[in-house]
Amino acid sequence: MIQVLLGANEYDITNRVSKHFTKKEFRTLQRDGIIISNYKFTIENSDKVFSVNRDKSFFSNPDTIYNTPIKIKSNDVIVWQGIIKNVFEKPNDIAVDIETIDQFYDTIHQKVEYASGGYEGFGDIVKNVFDTYNINYNTGAMERSIALYDAASCEAEATITKDDSMDVMSFAEKMAEIGCADFFTHDGEVYFLAYGDTAGGITLEDKDFITFDSISLNEKDIINEYRIYHAAGGPEIDADNNNIGEASRNKYGTRELKEMKTGTEEIITLKDSTSAVYLGENYIKRSHILQNGLYSNIPLWVQFSLDIELDQYTTVLDRVTVNFTPNNINSEFQVMKKDVDYNSNTIRIEALQR
């Protein structure tokens, strides 16, 4: 049984969630800023118990609305905790909308000070900062990312001072941008996932799709060239000298990754060419489908809807095999965006071919 509980005293508003109860999840591409996964509730308010600034209302004092705790339980187990971001009321309506964000939103805005004291594994820097500031991250994802960076001998040095005025979220976004990693939230945890982390999932057949809404090429995210500054006695610059992006450049023209500078004047210094080439080539690999030994095909971006009973198998952590025979699609896709509507019992998915 699902329960929606409001406030420190866990006032049960489940029966009032009578219109729309939706959950939004996002998995960012490496160059995107983090989007905090959130829920939006529309709750019945004919008795004005949840009106804004009204006497004897739960929200009688507008100053106390922000940060009001809210949680969801399933069979008495907490599956999500958040805080209220805003309440929207139309005085003549019989409902109010409540927007929420994950509870750790404020913790990722703590200001960071950190010094590596020498080169260390790229993933270890992220873990150390998260540990220092008590960020609730998924340990399994972090360990897998550290292993991927270590296997490639990808090392860096970080120096962040008070004068940099950088918070945890900005730091993690910067590390994800340089490190070709995804940085997102899921069910109250932060995920930092390096490229190369894979997790297989279920197969979706024609019968599973309520609607199959769109199919397009993910052309806007093509990267087939890079310029990354690193230390190595430099500054030195590495580009696609191994030419893994050559076939793509011949096909689509040069699509260059935004020039990334690391070094003594930046907060992050990549150790050497090995580190820079590994990260640059990951960007090229990430934005293409490997076929016949060449990174030249653009991945598909698809949108479809499913029954809510497939919810647990289609999170932003999952890859699913999409077998949609009308368009001859039979390939693995990474779930990138998910909207769950508990009123219509449907899920809307956006996914990227892998």
- If DSSP states are collapsed to H, E and C, what string results for the chain? CEEEEECCCCEECHHHCCCCEEEEEECCCCCCCCCCCEEEEEEECCCCCCCECCCCCCECCHHHCCCCEEEEEECCEEEEEEEEEEEEECCCCCEEEEEEEEHHHCHHHCECCEECCCCEEHHHHHHHHHHHCCCCECHHHHHHHHHHHHHCCCEEEEEECHHHCCEHHHHHHHHHHHHCEEEEEECCEEEEEECCCCCCCCEECHHHCCEEEEEEECHHHCCCECCEEECCCCCEEECCCCCCCHHHHHHHCCCECCCECCCCCCCEEECCHHHHHHHHHHHHHHCCEEECCEEEECCEEEEEEEEHHHHHHCCCCCEEEEEEHHHCEEEEEEEEEEEEECCCCEEEEEEEEC
Identify the pLDDT of residue 19.
44
In a domain, 226, yes or no: yes
Q: Which of 296, 327, 342 is the last residue of a domain?
A: 296
> Both 333 and 346 in a single domain?
yes
Q: What is the pLDDT of residues 81-97, one digit of tens each?
A: 788 888 888 777 888 88
Q: Are residues 120 and 149 in the same domain?
A: yes
Nearest C-alpha neighbor of 124 from the set 150, 160, 161: 150
Q: Is residue 230 over pLDDT 90?
A: no
Query: Does the residue 14 lie in any domain?
Result: yes
Query: Greater confidence, 261 or 268?
Result: 268
Least confident window among 166-175, 190-199, 208-217: 190-199
265 located within any domain = yes
In a domain, 198, yes or no: no
Q: Are residues 93 and 17 in the same domain?
A: yes
Same domain, 228 and 214: no
pLDDT at residue 37 in the model: 57
User: How much is the pTM?
Assistant: 0.79
Bigger pLDDT: 98 vs 199: 98
At residue 67, the pLDDT reads 79
Which domain-ending residue is among 50, 76, 104? Answer: 104
| Mean predicted confidence (pLDDT) in 157-168 | 91
Q: What is the pLDDT of residue 22?
A: 62
Evaluate whether residue 162 is within a structural domain: yes
249 shares a domain with 113: no
**pLDDT at residue 21, rounded to an integer:** 56
- Answer yes or no: do 332 and 274 share one domain: no
Enclosing domain of residue 213: 203-218+299-353
Q: Indicate if 172 and 155 belong to the same structural domain.
A: yes
In this prediction, residue 235 carries a pLDDT of: 62
Contact 255, 225 (CB under 8 A): yes
Q: What pLDDT is stored for residue 190 in this prediction?
A: 85
In-domain check, residue 88: yes
Q: Is the pLDDT of residue 77 over 80?
A: no
What was the pLDDT predicted at 183? Answer: 86
Whether residues 325 and 211 fall in one domain: yes
Pair 207, 348 in one domain: yes
When pLDDT is averaged across residues 239-262 and rounded to a whole number, the result is 89
Encode pLDDT of 273-295 as tens digits. Answer: 999 999 999 999 999 999 899 99
Q: Which of 104, 130, 156 is the last residue of a domain?
A: 104
Statement to judge: residues 96 and 112 lie in one domain: no
Q: Is the pLDDT of residue 18 over 80?
A: no
Q: Tokens 């703590």 correspond to what residue?
A: 110
Percent over 90 (pLDDT), the chain: 45
Residue-averaged pLDDT of the chain: 86
On whether both 319 and 289 belong to a single domain, the answer is no
Of 40-49, 99-108, 208-217, which range is least confident? 99-108
In a domain, 288, yes or no: yes
Residues 7 and 94 in one domain: yes
Q: How many domains does the chain have?
A: 4
Residue 137 lies in a domain: yes
Query: What is the band of 61 on the pLDDT scale with cuts at 50, 70, 90?
Result: confident
30 burial type by CB count under 10 A (0-12 exposed, 13-18 middle, 19+ buried): buried
Residue 30: pLDDT over 50: no
Best-predicted range by mean pLDDT (36-50, 70-84, 194-208):
194-208
Percent of the chain with pLDDT over 70: 90
